[in-house]
Structure 1
Amino acid sequence: MIEARTDVVGSLLRPPELLEAREKLARGEISPPEFKRIEDRAVDAVLELQERCGLEVVTDGELRRESFQSQLTEAVEGFGEHDISAFLWGEWRGDESVGDKSVERPRTLGVVERLRRKRHLSSEEFVYARARTDRIVKVTLPSPSLFANFWDPDISKEAYPTLDGFLEDVAEVLREEVEELVRLGAEYVQLDAPHYPLLVDPKTRAFYERRGWSVDEWLARGIELDNYVIGSHPGVTFAFHLCRGNQGSRWLASGSYEPIARRIFRDIAARRLMLEYDDERSGDFQPLRHVPEDKTVVLGLVTTKTPRRETVEELEGRVREAARIIPLERLAISPQCGFSTSIVGNAVTVEDEEYKLRTLVRAAGRIWG
């Protein structure tokens, strides 16, 4: 099992030249080979950044994706027409600097045909990154039930009469992806599951209940699908990331993990729990008492939403506070989420990003030696 004391959730800031190249590719102004060269250089830069900061675990920054979950819809046919709003909709909340913003769910959003995989989702990401670093390369994948918003009882009924049937096929695609990554030598895979903490918010909970499942069913059936994706792979570590939304320095929900902690922490087969704890919206550390003894908690103490510069002393204090509930040797630290979970990004600079990652590493050195 991976025992790293420092970790990253997934995404890193996309450079302006990569965002510009993505737009040019869409307009047909540059060729796919030209775009790939620009994309590769951007990945090289974020790998070097993470190494320079001293991180034990690195990712390719999810730079090849439009959103942290978009590699599924890009690699699999059947989802119908959609744009980035398919991943951004909701009532987003922010502090005074960014304000609140509501993004409507597209009326035409829905799976319209049986799913057919065109290619693997993340094998390119892993193979490229592995060849360019000696650090542990983590690959992030979405939790299958996150895609419930792509099932619509009217639009999707001919392809998938039930939500269950659709999500089972999504889980099958993701399970095959894990098997391919393991075959290629991956040793660390993460499932991103921001939809579970959204169940603690009445408005977002109501949306998920309208999909046909109660909260208890979301927890039971959703985790069953997650564990199916994880499967059985000795020597491979799985992480499970739970946050409350992260786009444009905004969030979707607030609240303690307490209502969902016992079920998720106990039943998920992942051995590392990546938990958001960067401010008061996340509640206190009391839910950590539900974490089984064989699991590690990676505390997301460093915010990716604002330029606020945490200190080593602050992070050490927070870890010591959590260690009153769960032993220090079963803790690690990371940012609370990605720095750019879609091409929208957060209101921080590359300099902020590097400072935060360096501070994370320095704090880990002080705490664990």
Structure 2
Amino acid sequence: MHVWRSDVVGSLLRPAWLQEARGQVERGTLAAAAFKRIEDRAVDEAVALQEAAGLEVITDGEMRRYAFFGHLIEAVEGFDREGGWSVTFRDAEGHAAPLRRPVVVGKLAWRRQMSVEEFTYLRGRTTRQVKVTLLSAQQAAAYYDPEFSKAAYATRDAYLADLVDFTRREIAELVRLGCEYIQIDAPQYAALLDETIREGYRQRGSDPDRLLDTCIELDNAIIDGHPGVTFGIHICRGNHKSMFYASGGYDRIAEHIFRRARFQRFLLEYDDERSGTFEPLRHVPDDRVVVLGLVSSKKPELEAAAELERRIAEASRYVPLERLAISPQCGFASTHEGNRLTPDDQRAKLELVGRTARAVWTPASTR
């Protein structure tokens, strides 16, 4: 069992020049080859940032995606990019921002591989452990709408069966190319903590508890049969422009997720009171690792190292210290707009993750 102590969830802030180049491509004023060179530069800088921060796990910052789910929507035919139901994100100050989800409107079909380019480029740019992020069946389930999707798929289950097949094919190719760490992003699991969102599922004809059990089975099917690969699952409560869409502790889903899901690493959001207590971690099996997302990717204020160490010690009452790690609570730019932090804020946060991991888990004699 691999226990990398300092992890990163996935996305990093997109440089302004990358954002502008993406807009030029969409307007047809920048050639694809030129844009690829700009993307490569953004990934190179993301790798250098993470290495300098002392992180053990490196991603490409999701610089080639417009959102954390962009690899699926842009690589697989069958989705209307913004035709799904709208989700409202909020913050503690009462601000709100709607985000329209994709919706499946046609039979799924390959345009290209989802993340192979990301992995093959990244592995050649660092000697540290690299990670690729993919989408969970539970998140993809939110892209089915009985009205808009039924012409392509009569049922959500039929759509998700295809989704599982496509994702397994992607993982098989990643593994063939040497990928050793894959994270499945599953914010929709935490959505089932929030009663308002649960009611939304009911109104669209889905029982949220039954959907939870079904999607755990599907996510298990996605990762099954790939020996030698570490699979992590990231569960958060929404992340868009420093806002969230769900609240609540893990209590409601803990036994379902921790005991039935077969992931080796649970990357969990634990940056503020919306996340609840560490007590649900008592359900985590003895052969799993918990990555504590203690450092906020939403707020610019830098956490105190002593407070992080105190919270790690508190979590170790439920999961032994040797099976714990630390990361930011979520990505810094789950959508291309990014959270309300500066690049300097982001750098300081990543450095804090790396520094805290070394302080907690590195023997004093070897620091």
The alignment's TM-score, normalised by the length of structure 2, stands at 0.96
Establish whether residue 100 from structure 1 lines up as the match of residue 95 from structure 2. Answer: yes
SS of residue in 2 equivalent to 1:113: strand
Q: Which moved more, 1:131-140 or 1:156-165?
A: 156-165
Instruction: Tell me the CA shift for residue 212 of structure 1.
Output: 3.4
1:99-145 Cα shifts (integer Å, max 9, x gaps): 42142647xx6322211112110000000000010011100001023
The 3 A distance-change label for structure 1 pair 31 and 86 is: farther
The residue aligned with 1:65 is 65
Q: Which residue does the alignment assign to 1:286? A: 279
Q: Secondary structure at the match of 1:200?
A: coil
Residue of structure 2 in register with 1:32 after alignment: 32
Report the CA distance between 1:164 and its aligned residue: 0.6
Whether the aligned pair in 2 keeps the contact of 1:148 and 1:211 (CA below 8 Å) is no
Rounded Cα–Cα distance in structure 2 between residues aligned with 1:102 and 1:356: 25
Q: Does 1:149 align with 2:149?
A: no
Distance 2:29 2:134 in 1: 31
Residue 236 of structure 1: which of 221, 225, 229 is its match?
Answer: 229
Q: Could you tell me how far 1:95 is from its partner in structure 2?
A: 2.8
Q: Which structure 2 residues correspond to residues 164-313 of structure 1 after superposition, within 5 A?
A: 164-313=157-306
Give deviations 1:8-54, integer Å, cap 9, x for gaps: 00001100000000001111111001111111000000000000111
CA RMSD in angstroms comes to: 1.4
How far is 1:171 from its partner? 1.1
The answer to which of 294-303 and 355-364 deviates more is 355-364
How much does 1:344 deviate?
1.4
Contact 1:59 1:129 in 2 (8 A): yes
Query: What residue number does 1:41 align with?
Result: 41
Residue 317 of structure 2 corresponds to residue 324 of structure 1 = yes
**Residue matched to 2:88:** 91
2 CA distance for matches of 1:218 and 1:76? 24
Tell whether the 8 Å contact from 1:148 to 1:167 is kept in structure 2 after alignment. yes
CA contact (8 A) 2:89 2:99 kept: no
Local SS of the residue matching 1:112: strand
Residues 138-183 of structure 1 show CA distances to partners (whole Å, capped at 9, x for unaligned) of: 0000102312232221222121110110111111111111111101
Contact 1:144 1:174 in 2 (8 A): no
Q: 1:110 to 1:11 in 2, by over 3 A?
A: closer
Distance 1:65 1:275 in 2: 22
CA offset digits 1:328-361 (Å, max 9, x no partner): 1110000000000011100011111111111111
Equivalents in 2 of 1:111, 1:362: separation in Å?
Answer: 43
Contact 2:84/2:103 (8 A) holds in 1: no
Q: Is the CA contact (8 Å cut-off) linking 1:2 and 1:188 kept in structure 2? A: no
Relative distance call for 1:342 and 1:86 in structure 2 (3 A) is farther
Q: Is the 8 A contact 2:108 2:162 kept in 1?
A: yes
2:340 is matched by which residue type in structure 1? A
Any unmatched runs of 5+ in structure 2? 363-367
Q: Which amino acid aligns with 1:142?
A: L
